[in-house]
Each structure stands twice: as C-alpha cells, then as structure tokens.
Amino acid sequence: MNRKEEDEKYMRRCIQLARNGAMGAAPNPMVGAVIVCDGKIIGEGYHRRCGQAHAEVNAIRSVRNPELLTRSTIYVSLEPCSHYGKTPPCADLIIEKQIPRVVVGCIDPFARVSGRGIQKLRDAGVDVTVGVLEDDCLSLNRRFITFHSEKRPYIVLKWAQSADGFIDKVREGGHPVVLSSPETQMLAHKHRAECKAILVGRRTALLDNPSLTVRSWHGDNPLRLVIDRSLTLPPGLHLFDGSTPTVIFTEMDSASQHPGVEHVRLDFTQDILPQIMRYLHERNIQSLLVEGGCRLLQSFIDAKLWDEVHVERVSLRLEDGVPAPTMPPNVCFQVEKRFGSDYLHFYRNVHQAGDKKL
Ligand SMILES: [Zn+2]
C-alpha cells in the first residue's frame, strides 16, 4: 500500500468515527481522528457533544503509551482548530505532544480564520497533508455547511405514500391511514433524532395528532414546530403536552398559556417559509425535518427549499385520497432501500458544497 492509499484508509476510519457524533455534535461539525504509529492504530476519537472535547483531544487521550506520539501520524477529518473556544486549540495540543505529521481531510470553511490551524502547525515544523478524501469529509458535514452557507437549516422532507400515489385518505376526522411498517418507523425516528427541529402544518397536527418525539430510537427530541395562523388548534393535542418544547408560528399577537409552548409571530401576508428559515437560523438550528402535510411539503419543494427527500413507498393501494407531493423532474435520485415489501427512496438536492461526488 502506498502512502496515498494508506492516508485514505485511515481517513475513511476518521469519517466512520465522526458519524458517531451525528446525534450530539451539532451545532459543531462532526469530526473523527485516528493516531497511527508504525502502521498500527494506537488512538481514536471523535467529537461527541458540543462543548465537550474535540476529536483530536479524545484520540490523544486514548493513546496508552504517549511516548509513541512523537513518531506518529494523526489523521483528522477536519482542520484542527487554532483558536480558544470552549476548549483550548487542538493545533496547540498537537504541537505540544510533538506529533510530527498531521493528515487533514478538509479545511474548516467556517472557522474564524480558515486555514489558520494548518498554518500554525506548519509554522511549528509539523508535516501537514491536506485534502485526503476531501469531498467525503465535506459531505460528512453538509448540514453544518448548508446552515452556514445558505443561512438556513439543512432541510429533510419526509412522507409515506401508497402504491397508487396517495399519502392519506380524504377525511375530516378519525385515524390516519398507517402506511409505515415497524422497520420504517424506526428509521423515521432515527431521522427525527438526527434533526434539531421538526415541522408540520395545521391540518396534520389536527388530524394526525402526532407527538413528533423520538420513541423508536435513542436520541434527543427535536424542537417541535407547527404552523397555526389563527391559533385554532385545540389545546389537548400531543404537541401541547409540554413533554418537549413546541413553537407555534402564528399571526396572532399573544403569549402562549401552555408550559413549553412558545408563539412566534409571522407576517402571513408574505411568504412564511423565508421567515421560518430566518427564525431557525437565528436560533442556531442546523437541521429541519418536515413531516407533512402534502401542501406544506409541496411548498418547500416548489420553493427549492430542500436538501434531502425521504419517500416511503408501500405496497398498499388507497384507490383515492390526498395525492403525494410531486418532485421536480430533474432531481438526483440517490438510493433505494428495501424494508420487507416497502421501499424507501432517498433524493438529494445537489446544489451545495460538499456534494460534488454524490
Ligand atoms: Zn479543536
């Protein structure tokens, strides 16, 4: 194996480790680090949770014999930081531990001074290689990158549809048609846990009475968001049970009476989606899952406000009902996964940085 192949091998491991931070690292990027001495991994780490140690620190701490560090290489998926944040700079730690070589996946495009961590290391005489599996390392943090470059959260749209293209029966009450299977429901809850906020429209809140919490997976509940222009939703809905915070977007100028429920006023004479995006950006919410209904999902698609779409296609036929949203014709269909007789289709919008290879 030549040096390039070896670098890519360990960088792939960094990316794998970084993904363990999918639930906790935000609003920080996911980062993984590996320390290699004489062709053997002697330390590994990733950024677990915002405010806690960075990947490089965890990797260095995991090394049993610190003497080996002075002849090791540290691989890290993102440029080591160079400024004092909640933790001391990782570049300084690498220099202090006298690690002679650093391999970096991608530079930090949104660090206060991008590239400074690498410069600091080079100035101290460290051999630095930059750009190993760069596209993969950027893509790993596409939520983080989209948030900072587009000034809005990374948006995932999700729905389930019948074999004949309906998402629900037409109804004025009663229970929704359950299209999900236990397997796809578990996956849906995993996706909820990976998003910081979840949005539904008024009709979905009223007819489906969803909890929008994470139950069939481990992780934090997303912030619940619902659009209710005139505040006509009944107070007994699960969304207002106070179990986890909820925001109602409304045109009414009144404070909420429910604990854990907050009113956010929007101008409904204007397009509300840009206003919601601004609000979420200001709250530092980097990812948004939209779970319905059809009109709301379609308005996101029409406004090109989406990054991923997850469509569950079940074998059941409804014959009639509410038609599923329609995707624009030229989108990039990414992958199909099979769950029993159901299929999950993932689409990705390829407009942003870090998606060149996807
Ligand atoms: Zn750091």
Rounded to whole angstroms, how far apart are CA atoms 101 and 321? 61
Question: Residue 351: pLDDT band by 50, 70, 90 thresholds?
Answer: low
| Cα–ligand 1 centroid distance for 223 (angstroms) | 28
Query: 50 to each of 33, 79, 90, 109, 121, how far by Cα in Å?
Result: 16, 17, 15, 18, 24
Predicted confidence (pLDDT) at residue 357 exceeds the cutoff of 70:
no
pLDDT (mean) for 106-110: 84
For residue 358, the model assigns a pLDDT of 35
Question: Residue 21: pLDDT band by 50, 70, 90 thresholds?
Answer: very high
pLDDT > 70 fraction of the chain, expressed in percent and rounded = 96
For residue 111, the model assigns a pLDDT of 66
For residue 334, the model assigns a pLDDT of 77
| Cα–ligand 1 centroid distance for 147 (angstroms) | 20
State pLDDT tens for residues 297-329.
999 999 999 999 999 988 888 888 889 999 887
| Cα–ligand 1 centroid distance for 59 (angstroms) | 11
User: Choosing from 6, 8, 56, 262, which is the catalytic residue?
Assistant: 56
Instruction: Give yes or no: 44 in active site.
Output: no
State pLDDT tens for residues 51-74.
899 999 999 999 999 999 999 999
For residue 353, the model assigns a pLDDT of 43
φ, ψ of residue 157 in degrees (nearest 5) = -100, 140
| Cα–ligand 1 centroid distance for 81 (angstroms) | 4
| Cα–ligand 1 centroid distance for 51 (angstroms) | 11
* Mean pLDDT value across the chain: 90
| Cα–ligand 1 centroid distance for 283 (angstroms) | 23
Predicted confidence (pLDDT) at residue 220 exceeds the cutoff of 70:
yes
Query: For the ranges 33-37, 84-88, 215-219, which has the lowest average pLDDT?
Result: 84-88
Predicted confidence (pLDDT) at residue 279 exceeds the cutoff of 60:
yes
Rounded to whole angstroms, how far apart are CA atoms 114 and 138? 14
Predicted confidence (pLDDT) at residue 114 exceeds the cutoff of 80:
no
DSSP 169-236: ---SSSPPP----HHHHHHHHHHHHH-SEEEE-HHHHHHH-------SSSSPPPEEEEE-TT--S-TT
Reduced to 3 states, what is the DSSP secondary structure of residue 144? helix
For residue 355, the model assigns a pLDDT of 46
